[in-house]
Chain A
């Protein structure tokens, strides 16, 4: 466990000291600040507009970090041959992957927390009242991004970083449409479409189940017990993805 922590801490230092991360966060903050202008021209919908626009910004910029850093994290170590040093120490392949994953999750937490805190403050300023639900929505966005990190790292163990990034984005998009895929399993024409829909539904993490943006902006009412259940499901999905990634990584030669 100590070795996992050491690798996680090193990965956190590596990613948090990367200047590109600062640029991404600045862009995100600028976009959230820009939504103040949008809010100012919207009639009686300023708070809703801010939340909607802001949560999308947090999701998109968080996704950029999760996918692009997640895809290159392990590959960079192999390419630059730092894995030679790591694996010449008594470090297991699974320990290495878990360490990298936890380190990136810590960085992602800092990034999402920075964007979330700014969004919380700006919506408070616009709506003249704090919104606790926005904090919960941001926490669930973070959970979705953690799933994307795990899946992208899994792809990165057996493919190139670019392909892993593309696949990571695809899984995120498919995960957001999971409910539509579920509808296809009932309404799809022909057994092939139905079987394919079931396969996609079970293989892709159901990220839409923990998406509470609609309830935060007042378009829907979130069923929190179901959100709690699906959060546990996503946590299990992360563990499974990393177990498969560890198995694939164990077979790799350097």
Chain B
């Protein structure tokens, strides 16, 4: 896989298609502490992600980005609002959690085999897919090493590999660049770009705005449980020198 990042032509990037994720007025309230104090994490967020988009979900810590992904996955139940996924359930979805931790006692290949089995991918197909993914994320040489001995960057890459083991149409990545060195970042960006070229839809959270500007077609900015801006990256860059400046303008406004 190539590790150079190229931006697709704007005509391609702006190509609109059917929404694969539609979120309307999504609210999530949780109970905290002994007295079950109610805290609103999501306060009526609305945005949609089109098929083939690489969509960046941005926002400061505590904005509700991870909670939004958890509701999409069914790890949390929405208090109110609508979530519609244009894929056939979890079988067509891949997910990388933030700061992933996997089973220390499994080797990289064993872990991917387990992920494949859980997705219903078995036998020869499973073996072929595991081998290809290990190759794609550059971990072929570490296939038989236990995950407990993997570096943070290697864990991030095996995490991406497990998210792709079922060849999903929709991929959700929670902070995929966190903790990676420059080489690891370039490799992860190449994986996302490769997914985009294959027509997959990617939704990812990131604090590294340069990467978002480089990879994303559209973005949404969240703050304190609401979406304060949604649109194409070009629109954001039109009134600011870079995405960081635009982000700061919106978040501090």
B88-127: which residues lie under 8 A (CB-CB) from chain A?
Answer: 89-91, 93-95, 97, 99-103, 105-106, 110, 114-115, 117-120, 122
Is B250 in the interface zone, CB < 8 Å from A? no
Residues in B with CB closer than 8 Å to A13 are: 105-106, 110
Is B5 in the interface zone, CB < 8 Å from A? no
Residues in B with CB closer than 8 Å to A81 are: 97, 99-101
Residues in A with CB closer than 8 Å to B91 are: 90
Do A85 and B115 touch across chains, with their CB atoms under 8 A apart?
yes
Of listed B94, B114, B122, B162, residue having the most chain A CB within 10 A:
B114
Q: Which residue of B lies closest to A16 (CB)?
A: B105
Question: How far, in angstroms, from A80 to B147 measured CA to CA in the complex?
Answer: 14
Binary interface encoding of chain B residues 74-93 relative to chain A, with 1 for a CB under 8 A from any of its CBs, else 0:
11110000000000011101
Q: Which residue of A lies closest to B118 (CB)?
A: A89
A67-122: which residues lie under 8 A (CB-CB) from chain B?
Answer: 80-91
Q: Which of A2-10, A34-42, A190-198 contacts B (4 or more CB under 8 A)?
A: A2-10
Residues in B with CB closer than 8 Å to A17 are: 105
Q: How many A residues touch the partner, as a band?
A: 20 to 34
Do B97 and A2 touch across chains, with their CB atoms under 8 A apart?
no
Do B76 and A90 touch across chains, with their CB atoms under 8 A apart?
no
Is A253 in the interface zone, CB < 8 Å from B? yes
Q: How far, in Å, is A5 (CB) from chain B's closest CB?
A: 8
Residues in A with CB closer than 8 Å to B94 are: 88
Among B75, B103, B166, point to the contact of A10 (Cβ < 8 A).
B103
Q: How far, in Å, is A46 (CB) from chain B's closest CB?
A: 42
Do A88 and B105 touch across chains, with their CB atoms under 8 A apart?
no
Question: How far, in angstroms, from A10 to B112 measured CA to CA in the complex?
Answer: 12
Do A82 and B103 touch across chains, with their CB atoms under 8 A apart?
yes
Binary interface encoding of chain A residues 214-233 relative to chain B, with 1 for a CB under 8 A from any of its CBs, else 0:
00000000000000000000
Do A82 and B101 touch across chains, with their CB atoms under 8 A apart?
yes
Q: How many B residues touch the partner, as a band?
A: 20 to 34
Residues in B with CB closer than 8 Å to A253 are: 30, 75-77
Residues in A with CB closer than 8 Å to B145 are: none
Of listed A6, A10, A14, A85, residue having the most chain B CB within 10 A:
A85
Do B115 and A80 touch across chains, with their CB atoms under 8 A apart?
no
Do B90 and A88 touch across chains, with their CB atoms under 8 A apart?
yes
Q: How far, in Å, is B33 (CB) from chain A's closest CB?
A: 16
Q: How far, in Å, is A14 (CB) from chain B's closest CB?
A: 6
Residues in B with CB closer than 8 Å to A84 are: 73, 75, 95, 97
Contacts known (A90-B89, A253-B76); A14 close to B115, Cβ less than 8 A: no
Question: How far, in angstroms, from A89 to B115 measured CA to CA in the complex?
Answer: 8
Do B114 and A6 touch across chains, with their CB atoms under 8 A apart?
yes
Is B43 in the interface zone, CB < 8 Å from A? no
Question: How far, in angstroms, from A82 to B114 measured CA to CA in the complex?
Answer: 13
Residues in A with CB closer than 8 Å to B73 are: 84, 87-88
Q: How far, in Å, is A110 (CB) from chain B's closest CB?
A: 16
Q: How far, in Å, is B90 (CB) from chain A's closest CB?
A: 4
Residues in B with CB closer than 8 Å to A87 are: 73-75
Question: How far, in angstroms, from A90 to B76 measured CA to CA in the complex?
Answer: 15
Q: How far, in Å, is A220 (CB) from chain B's closest CB?
A: 44
Do B97 and A90 touch across chains, with their CB atoms under 8 A apart?
no
Residues in B with CB closer than 8 Å to A18 are: 105
Q: How far, in Å, is B35 (CB) from chain A's closest CB?
A: 19
Question: How far, in angstroms, from A14 to B159 measured CA to CA in the complex?
Answer: 19
Question: How far, in angstroms, from A227 to B101 measured CA to CA in the complex?
Answer: 45
Question: How far, in angstroms, from A2 to B93 measured CA to CA in the complex?
Answer: 19
B14-63: which residues lie under 8 A (CB-CB) from chain A?
Answer: 30
Do B75 and A91 touch across chains, with their CB atoms under 8 A apart?
no
Is B185 in the interface zone, CB < 8 Å from A? no
Q: Which residue of A lies closest to B93 (CB)?
A: A88
Do B103 and A14 touch across chains, with their CB atoms under 8 A apart?
yes
Q: How far, in Å, is A75 (CB) from chain B's closest CB?
A: 14
Question: How far, in angstroms, from A83 to B114 measured CA to CA in the complex?
Answer: 13
The chain A residues found within 8 Å of chain B, CB to CB, are: 2-3, 6-7, 10, 13-14, 17-18, 80-91, 253-254
Nearest first, the 8 A-B pairs at minimum CB distance are: A88-B95, A6-B117, A89-B118, A84-B97, A90-B90, A254-B75, A17-B105, A253-B76
17 A-B contact pairs sorted by A residue (CB < 8 Å)? A2-B117, A3-B117, A7-B118, A10-B114, A13-B110, A14-B103, A82-B102, A84-B73, A84-B75, A84-B95, A85-B97, A85-B159, A86-B118, A88-B95, A89-B118, A90-B90, A253-B30
